[in-house]
């Protein structure tokens, strides 16, 4: 736990950079889907939805990088990133289970990030609740 607390900046930078690789979906939606899930969607609506999804994921990565240098924003950014990544994992485990084999790198990377981010958030919360109060 202490390792995560002491290195959260570097963990966020690495996680943010890895998350930003989904910018590929903005410029090449079919390629991004093929690499991530081993399948593609066809048609103009698929292009719009996948590009939008890629942009949102890239923004989460950019927020992780930003908050690595702005500790005041870490809690919110880590919470948003953890929830977003956990939701993807839940969707792959449920209705997207057929993609789990191809998506294993995504599952491992996002699963580790969710775990690390939650450990950090819980440790910060525990520290805040155990700190003595200044009010009398």
Phi, psi of 16 (to 5 degrees): -65, -45
pLDDT of residue 134 exceeding 80, the answer is: no
H or E, element range at 23: none
Whether the Cβ atoms of residue 54 and residue 22 lie closer than 8 Å to each other: yes
CA distance 41 to 25: 12
Residue 132's SS3 state is coil
Q: What is the mean pLDDT of residues 31-60?
A: 95
Residue 129: per-residue pLDDT: 83
Q: What is the dihedral of CA 71, 75, 81, 87, to 10 degrees?
A: 170
Predicted confidence band of residue 133 (pLDDT cuts 50, 70, 90)? low
Q: What is the dihedral of CA 2, 76, 74, 125, to 10 degrees?
A: -30
Residue 59: per-residue pLDDT: 98
pLDDT of residue 95 exceeding 80, the answer is: yes
Q: How many CB atoms lie within 10 A of CB 80?
A: 16
pLDDT of residue 21 exceeding 80, the answer is: yes
Residue 127: per-residue pLDDT: 85
Residue 130: per-residue pLDDT: 79
Whether the Cβ atoms of residue 63 and residue 16 lie closer than 8 Å to each other: yes
Q: What is the mean pLDDT of residues 6-14?
A: 97
Q: What is the mean pLDDT of residues 48-64?
A: 97
Q: What is the mean pLDDT of residues 1-11?
A: 93
The reported pTM is 0.90
Whether the Cβ atoms of residue 92 and residue 100 lie closer than 8 Å to each other: yes
The whole-chain average pLDDT of the chain stands at 94
Question: What contacts 75, CB < 8 A, 6 or more positions away?
Answer: 121, 124
């Amino acid at each position: 736990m202490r390792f995560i607390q002491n290195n959260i900046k570097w963990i966020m930078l690495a996680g943010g950079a890895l998350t930003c690789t989904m910018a590929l979906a903005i410029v090449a939606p079919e390629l991004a889907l093929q690499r991530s899930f081993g399948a593609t969607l066809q048609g103009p609506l698929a292009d719009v939805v996948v590009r939008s999804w890629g942009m949102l994921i890239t923004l989460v990565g950019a927020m992780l990088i930003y908050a690595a240098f702005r500790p005041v924003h870490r809690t919110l950014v880590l919470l948003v990133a953890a929830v977003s990544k956990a939701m993807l994992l839940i969707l792959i485990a449920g209705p997207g289970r057929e993609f789990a084999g191809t998506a294993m790198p995504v599952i491992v990377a996002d699963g580790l990030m969710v775990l690390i981010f939650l450990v950090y958030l819980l440790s910060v919360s525990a520290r805040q609740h155990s700190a003595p109060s200044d009010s009398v």
